[in-house]
Structure 1
Amino acid sequence: MANHKSAAKQARRNEARRLRNRWWRSRLRSALKTYRAAVDAGEKEKAGSLLAPTLGLVDKTAKAGVIHDNTAARTKSRLQAAYNKLG
C-alpha cells in the first residue's frame, strides 16, 4: 500500500499500463501463432493474407512501447523470411 498520494496515483497508472501492455502482447502473440500455423502447414495463400496485418501489429506493438523497436524489426524479418521460404 502506498504511503503518499503520488505513490498511490503511480500505482494506479502502473496497473493501467500493465493491463494495456498485456492486451497488446496477447493480440500480438495470437496473430503470430495464427501466422506461424499457416506457414508450418505450407498454406502460402493464407500466410500471404495474414502477413501484412501481422507485420502491422508488430509495428503497432512496438510503437505502443510494449516491445523494443529492434525486437519488432527482428520479428518482422523472420516472418517475411518464413513467407519467402514457402516458395
Structure 2
Amino acid sequence: MANIKSAIKRVDVNNKKRAANQSQKSEMRSAIKNVERLVEANDVESAKTALKDTVKQIDKAVQKGIIHKNNGDRQKSRLAKKVNNIGA
C-alpha cells in the first residue's frame, strides 16, 4: 500500500476512474448484445434504432480511451452488417 500522500490520492483517483470505465464498458457491451438479440428476432426497425444508440456508445468509449479506435470501428462494422442482412 502507498505511504506517500500523493500516491494515496493517485490510488483513489485510479480506482474511481476504473469503476467509471468499467461501468461505461459494461453498458456498451449490453447495448451490443441487445442489437444482436434484435437481429436474431428479425426485428428490423428496433434493431436499426438500437444500432444508432449503440454506435453512439461505442464512439464515446473510443473517445474516452476505454477501447481502441480500431476495436470500436470493427464492432460498429460487424453490427451494421448484421442489421443490414436482416431483410436479405
Same-fold call, TM > 0.5?
yes
Extract unaligned runs of 5+ from structure 2. Answer: none
| Runs of 4+ that moved beyond 6 A | none
Measure how far apart 1:3 and its partner are.
1.5
Q: State the 1:62 CA deviation.
A: 1.0
**CA RMSD, 1 decimal:** 0.9
| Residue pairs, 1:7-18, within 5 angstroms | 7-18=7-18
Partner residue, 2:58 = 58
Structure 1 unaligned blocks of 5 or more? none
**When the two structures are superposed, what TM-score results if normalisation uses the length of structure 2?**
0.92
Larger RCO: Structure 1 or Structure 2 (Cα < 8 Å, ≥ 6 residues apart)? 2
Question: Which residues in structure 2 correspond to 1:31-42 (within 5 Å)?
Answer: 31-42=31-42
- Aligned-pair identity in percent equals 39
Q: What is the number of equivalent residue pairs in this alignment?
A: 87
Q: Which residue of 1 aligns with 2:25?
A: 25
